[in-house]
Chain A
Amino acid sequence: MAGIACLKEEENMKIGYKTYLAMIILGVLAFSLIQAPQVHATETSVNTKLNAFLTNVLRIDLIKYTVVTQQGYSDTYPAKYGGQVEEETLSYILTTADNSSRLNVNSIIDRGVLISCTCRPIHGSLLYVQPPSTDIINQGSRIMNDYRSFVSQNYAMDTSYLQLAQTMLSNVTNLTSSIAVSGNLQLETSQYSERISPVTNANETITTLHWIYTQNGEVASSKHIFLDFVDGQLDSFVDTYGLFRIGPQASITNAEAVKLGFASAQNFDVPLFQYDANGNPTSVKPDWSNATYDISLAMLPGDFWMTQPSLPIQLPNSSLIPQTVYPSNITRDALTLYPVWQLTFYFSKPIGNTLGIQVGVYGDTGQIHYRTYYSILGTQQPVSGSQALSPPTSLNKHSSPPPVGTKSQNSASLFTLPAYSYAVIIALLVMLAIGIYITRRRGK
């Protein structure tokens, strides 16, 4: 009896185990079923928004297109926005049924708001619901008007900046190069023609309309609206105006920034070397006696570069690169723009390819933000005594012995027998076999 009871208990345990297993499987399935539609729903929502933008703002005749490549979709919280912003990217290629028009579409969506869309024909022309005006100002004005309706319908956002942008555009008389300021917007236009083919001399015309937030002469280039047209067709559209907030104004003056920055550049203890004709290095200090500088004031987001320090780097040759980025003494927000004086101090004479030191100074606190080299990658001087030929002395490389053998060449020798050699060997073997067979048959 005790044995039977034990068996039953074991059976119960087995049932329990099976039930447990079934529950886990059901749980996993349920989780998958819940997750899958959520992921799909997010992507679908982005897709719907993008399609609405293409149809209602760019007025592309999407009915005539189908998606031909797998959509590139990503959903991240990038460090550039301090991990605060959900950023989705969506890209695909569209084609018409007869393949006469193919488009590449690439978009960025931050917090559910479309901030960037490029739409370019890869082949053929864009097919529109109605052809856009050939006058860029008219076309731009129509796009801005439709975009304002799109924003009103899709986002809970103030659209007064778009109204102002549209009004400013209507006042433009010179597309080639103009700058106008109204309220907190600065509109820059440019138009130029460029040859694209060295053979056919074909030209393209690029026109850009660029509205940037400005306040008391400071330009916040990250907070802007941008449209560019290639040969009269809209190529890309950007609007990050609603993404960034404006932080404090610069309280540090230009002169103060130069003073602070220059002192910091002079104290920047970076290893710099002068090389003699034999390539032997001598450690040198920069000559600042006739130093010059460039300066500009930027409004930059308080991203991770403002909050995390870089670490000194120990190089294999034992030289030490000191810390180049310094964390801010006060809290910074990745979606707020802060004033930063950006300075480049040039040595009296370049040291090798290093022309000087770059320094960033916070415009609100005067703290040093970063210090680094400013160098170019190359020399412009002709090499002295370089008459010897490095290129081959014969134009026919196959008649010349190859350069000294190396590992890579040895590995290459594995493949030196061309593929057709195998076919030749096989054909010879077949012919030999047939020949022998026929000979033997005749012998019989």
Chain B
Amino acid sequence: MTCRKYFVVVMIAFLAISFISAIEIGMTKAQYTNGSIQWGNMQHPTGLEFSDESAACYIIGVWTTRDGWYTNNFYNNPNNNNPPYSTWAYNQLTYLQQNYLPTDNFWVGDYCNAWNGYAQHWTFYGTPNTNPQDLVWDSTVNWAIDPAESQQYFDFIWTCSNGGCYWDQYLNYNYNPPLPTSPNNPYVVYGFRDWAGYCVGMPLAWTNINYMSIDGYYGPDVTPYCYIGFQGTSVGLSATASGSTHPYYDFVYFFYYYFTGQLDGIHHSVIDSLNYASQNIWPGYNFGNTILHNGWQVYYNGVNWSCAMRVFGNGWYSMP
């Protein structure tokens, strides 16, 4: 009897622990199934642009929160730079990775290029200064993700330069390649690892794969990733879209309005959402026939930069 009692007690304890553990695991998983992060900063956060960027991050956060997603708006350094934004970003990405939270990111703000001693890298302004430790580097982003499968499945990066193909297959570099459409941009590489192993290029940094389609709009691939960024300079959200009176803020607004299912309750694909946003800015125009897709040129620092919004990976991606 003593033995049986003992056995029963152990079994009850075992069952209780299993039950509690199951609840805990269940709660963890049930609490959040997906992540949505809004990031970014300007080199000098002032003016209408700052106001529009803040508003865009805010509204996206509102919409993904409605879906019960783990949502954090980190726009404009919410933590007074303590710890530095780069550390904050690294920790947040590590958290998302470790908890297998498939995440949609929207990053808006300023880009900066920087040199780490091995290669030229691509960075974001995390805070309004150019201290290297306050910039968020491609290699830092990738460090939080690699070598695991990236959980950053959709990345919409509205900054200059962080969405271009600047290298050919031999890694010959052209900082200002031709427009992605006619005449064809001959460059096909969006990221690589420098000789010291650090990731170069944001599309590779976020997705951690080097084989995404470089035209995810007309030629989407079957990877689980989609990355949108700008080749060359991007325009501010407060700027007026050419051939329209709408500011580019409205493009972001309508994209996420459709993408997050605010119109009809359906999470639409990136391709369809790009088309929907375009139709609202330029009535009757799908994304493939807009200036964003077909490109434009900006004269800056003595160079005519060829610029365009680029879609990498699987344009059929939609929010789970």
Interface residues of A (CB under 8 A from B): 70, 72-74, 76, 78, 80, 89, 91, 104, 106, 108, 115-116, 118, 120, 122, 177, 190, 192-199, 201-202, 204, 206, 208, 210, 221-224, 226, 228, 230, 235-236, 238-240, 243-244, 270-273, 275, 279, 281, 296, 298, 300-301, 303, 305-306, 313, 315, 317, 319, 321, 324-325, 340, 342, 346, 350, 352-355, 358, 360, 369-370, 372-384, 386-392, 395, 397, 402-406, 408-409, 411-412, 414-416, 419, 422, 425-426, 429-430, 432-433, 436-437, 440-441, 443-444
Q: How far is the CA of A386 from the CA of B275 in the complex (A)?
A: 40
Q: How far is the CA of A10 from the CA of B291 in the complex (A)?
A: 75
Most chain A CB within a 10 A radius of its CB, from B10, B28, B44, B111: B44
Is the Cβ of B91 less than 8 Å from the Cβ of A72?
Answer: no
Number of interface residues of B (CB under 8 A): 126
Contacts A/B (CB < 8 Å), 20 sampled = A104-B272, A192-B182, A194-B180, A194-B215, A196-B214, A208-B288, A224-B284, A300-B244, A342-B242, A358-B240, A373-B48, A374-B235, A387-B116, A390-B133, A392-B140, A395-B196, A403-B87, A403-B90, A425-B21, A444-B3
Given A382-B113, A437-B3, A373:B288 Cβ within 8 A: no
Within 8 A of A (CB), among B108-157: 108-117, 120-121, 123, 128-130, 132-133, 135, 137, 139-140, 143-144, 146
From residue A143, how far is it (CB to closest CB) to chain B in Å?
16
Q: How far is the CA of A270 from the CA of B236 in the complex (A)?
A: 16
Is the Cβ of A391 less than 8 Å from the Cβ of B190?
Answer: no
Is the Cβ of A378 less than 8 Å from the Cβ of B289?
Answer: no
* B47 close to A (CB within 8 Å): yes
Q: How far is the CA of A91 from the CA of B316 in the complex (A)?
A: 13
Given A204-B215, A221-B282, A228-B288, 15 new contacts (CB under 8 A):
A115-B284, A223-B284, A226-B289, A230-B218, A239-B284, A240-B284, A243-B284, A352-B44, A370-B245, A377-B235, A378-B233, A386-B115, A391-B140, A412-B94, A429-B17
* B65 close to A (CB within 8 Å): no
Given A243-B283, A352-B44, A89:B264 Cβ within 8 A: yes
Q: How far is the CA of A414 from the CA of B98 in the complex (A)?
A: 11
Among residues of A, the one whose C-beta sits closest to the C-beta of B133 is A390
Most chain A CB within a 10 A radius of its CB, from B44, B115, B214, B283: B283
* B62 close to A (CB within 8 Å): no
Q: Which residues from chain B contact A373 at a C-beta distance below 8 Å? A: 47-49, 236, 238-239
Is the Cβ of B87 less than 8 Å from the Cβ of A369?
Answer: no
Is the Cβ of A305 less than 8 Å from the Cβ of B116?
Answer: no
Among residues of A, the one whose C-beta sits closest to the C-beta of B266 is A72
Is the Cβ of B272 less than 8 Å from the Cβ of A300?
Answer: no
Among residues of A, the one whose C-beta sits closest to the C-beta of B305 is A380
Q: A419 touches which one: B6, B25, B110, B112 (CB < 8 A)?
A: B25
Q: Which residues from chain B contact A416 at a C-beta distance below 8 Å? A: 98
Q: Which residues from chain A contact B234 at a C-beta distance below 8 Å? A: 376-378
Q: How far is the CA of A222 from the CA of B290 in the complex (A)?
A: 12
* B80 close to A (CB within 8 Å): no
Is the Cβ of A196 less than 8 Å from the Cβ of B218?
Answer: yes
From residue A9, how far is it (CB to closest CB) to chain B in Å?
51
Q: Which residues from chain B contact A419 at a C-beta distance below 8 Å? A: 25
Contact with A along B259-284 (1 / 0, CB 8 A): 00001111011011001100110111
Given A375-B49, A376-B160, A412-B94, A383:B132 Cβ within 8 A: yes
From residue B287, how far is it (CB to closest CB) to chain A in Å?
10
Q: Which residues from chain A contact B288 at a C-beta distance below 8 Å? A: 206, 208, 228, 235-236
Is the Cβ of B83 less than 8 Å from the Cβ of A406?
Answer: yes
Q: A72 touches which one: B14, B87, B265 (CB < 8 A)?
A: B265
Q: Which residues from chain B contact A275 at a C-beta distance below 8 Å? A: 43-44
Is the Cβ of B221 less than 8 Å from the Cβ of A197?
Answer: yes
Number of residue pairs spanning A and B whose beta carbons lie under 8 angstroms apart: 363
Q: Which residues from chain A contact B230 at a C-beta distance below 8 Å? A: 377
Q: A382 touches which one: B48, B92, B114 (CB < 8 A)?
A: B114
Q: How far is the CA of A412 from the CA of B139 in the complex (A)?
A: 22
Among residues of B, the one whose C-beta sits closest to the C-beta of A359 is B240
Given A70-B266, A403-B83, A429-B10, A378:B215 Cβ within 8 A: no
Q: Which residues from chain A contact B94 at a C-beta distance below 8 Å? A: 402, 409, 412
Is the Cβ of B218 less than 8 Å from the Cβ of A415?
Answer: no
Among residues of B, the one whose C-beta sits closest to the C-beta of A321 is B48
Q: Which residues from chain B contact A429 at a C-beta distance below 8 Å? A: 10, 13-14, 17
Contact with A along B82-95 (1 / 0, CB 8 A): 01001110111011
Is the Cβ of B83 less than 8 Å from the Cβ of A378?
Answer: no
Is the Cβ of B91 less than 8 Å from the Cβ of A319?
Answer: no
Is the Cβ of B129 less than 8 Å from the Cβ of A279?
Answer: yes
Is the Cβ of A406 less than 8 Å from the Cβ of B215?
Answer: no
Q: Which residues from chain A contact B165 at a C-beta distance below 8 Å? A: 198
* B247 close to A (CB within 8 Å): yes
From residue A209, how far is it (CB to closest CB) to chain B in Å?
11
From residue B277, how far is it (CB to closest CB) to chain A in Å?
12
Q: How far is the CA of A329 from the CA of B124 in the complex (A)?
A: 43
Contact with A along B190-217 (1 / 0, CB 8 A): 1000001110000000000011111100
Is the Cβ of A377 less than 8 Å from the Cβ of B160?
Answer: yes
Most chain A CB within a 10 A radius of its CB, from B72, B113, B128: B113
Q: How far is the CA of A443 from the CA of B2 in the complex (A)?
A: 12
Most chain A CB within a 10 A radius of its CB, from B25, B188, B284: B284
Q: How far is the CA of A250 from the CA of B45 in the complex (A)?
A: 39
Q: How far is the CA of A91 from the CA of B219 in the complex (A)?
A: 20
Is the Cβ of A378 less than 8 Å from the Cβ of B160?
Answer: yes
Q: Which residues from chain B contact A305 at a C-beta distance below 8 Å? A: 245-246
Contact with A along B47-90 (1 / 0, CB 8 A): 11111000000000000000000001000000100010011101
Is the Cβ of A377 less than 8 Å from the Cβ of B245?
Answer: no
Among residues of A, the one whose C-beta sits closest to the C-beta of B185 is A194
* B159 close to A (CB within 8 Å): yes
Q: Which residues from chain B contact A106 at a C-beta distance below 8 Å? A: 268, 272, 275
From residue B126, how far is it (CB to closest CB) to chain A in Å?
10
Q: How far is the CA of A373 from the CA of B47 in the complex (A)?
A: 9
Is the Cβ of B161 less than 8 Å from the Cβ of A355?
Answer: no
From residue B298, how far is it (CB to closest CB) to chain A in Å?
6
Is the Cβ of B47 less than 8 Å from the Cβ of A271?
Answer: yes
* B228 close to A (CB within 8 Å): no
Q: Which residues from chain A contact B268 at a C-beta distance below 8 Å? A: 72, 91, 106
* B172 close to A (CB within 8 Å): no
Is the Cβ of A422 less than 8 Å from the Cβ of B25?
Answer: yes
Ranked nearest first, the 10 interchain pairs of A and B with the lowest CB-CB distance are: A378-B160, A378-B111, A440-B3, A196-B219, A240-B284, A391-B139, A72-B266, A192-B182, A74-B264, A403-B87
From residue B21, how far is it (CB to closest CB) to chain A in Å?
5
